Structures are given as C-alpha cells and as structure tokens.
Amino acid sequence: MISPERVSAEQLKTEIRRTFEELNKRNLAVLDEYYAPNVVVHYHNTGVEVIGLEKHKQSLNGRFAMFPDSHITIEDILVDGDKALIRYSSTATHNGNLGPAGKKLGGTAFQFRRYEGGKVAEIWEI
C-alpha cells in the first residue's frame, strides 16, 4: 500500500502495474488498498463522474459484464510527485447487450491520477 509519506516514482509505478494486473483478473478488492473511499472518477468519453469507491467498483463491474474478456496493457507510466499519468491499450469483445455481439474493440486511453494521503483521490480517464 502507498504510505502517506512521499513514495518514490518506482514504488508508485509498481503499485499502478499491480492494480491493472489485478483488474485484468477482475479482482476489485485491490482497489481497497490503493483508492480513497471518496475517490472521484471523471470519464471524459461519457461525461460521467463517479463519486466513491463502491460506485467506482459498480461501474467497473458493469464494464466487465459488457466486455467480459477486456484486457488492459500499460504502455507508459509517468509520475511527478502526487500525480501519475498512465497510457494504456485495451482490447475487448462486446457481449451484445448494447451493441453487436462479438464485435472486437481496441484502443488507447490515458488515465491521470491525483493522490492524497497515499491513496488515489481523483482520476481523469480519456
């Protein structure tokens, strides 16, 4: 877990990698270790703002239900103090409940994180 004291960029990068690896396994419990209970997540593509860790987990579960084989690969991580920028690629196959079943999707996204007290306090995802 990220300590409230200043951590090195390498420590933060290791914890970011672990978070994404566990999310690829659908282990949402990892978020309890690294995210603040009142985390705010801004989804640029939909304009939705999710407030709170439990709501964020619900949002992720919805995404996993829609794209059951989704997988994220980290391409780059940049850390500066209490902020991190993550560029990642993702692949997924749509399950068909909101679009054509079996349609394969992929793309690149960016996630900007702000940390407070050693935990993820805010995320902007583009």
pTM over 0.75: yes
pLDDT at 116: 92
Which of 105, 104, 76 has the alpha carbon at shortest distance from 17? 76
Average pLDDT over residues 33-40: 96
Domains and CATH numbers, the chain: 9-125 (3.10.450.50)
Take residue 63 and report the two structure tokens written for it: 């995404």
Mean pLDDT score, 36-64: 93
**What are the tens digits of pLDDT across the range 51-104?**
999 999 999 999 898 888 999 999 999 999 999 999 999 999 987 766 667 778
pLDDT of residue 95: 78
Fill in the amino acid letter for 7. Answer: V
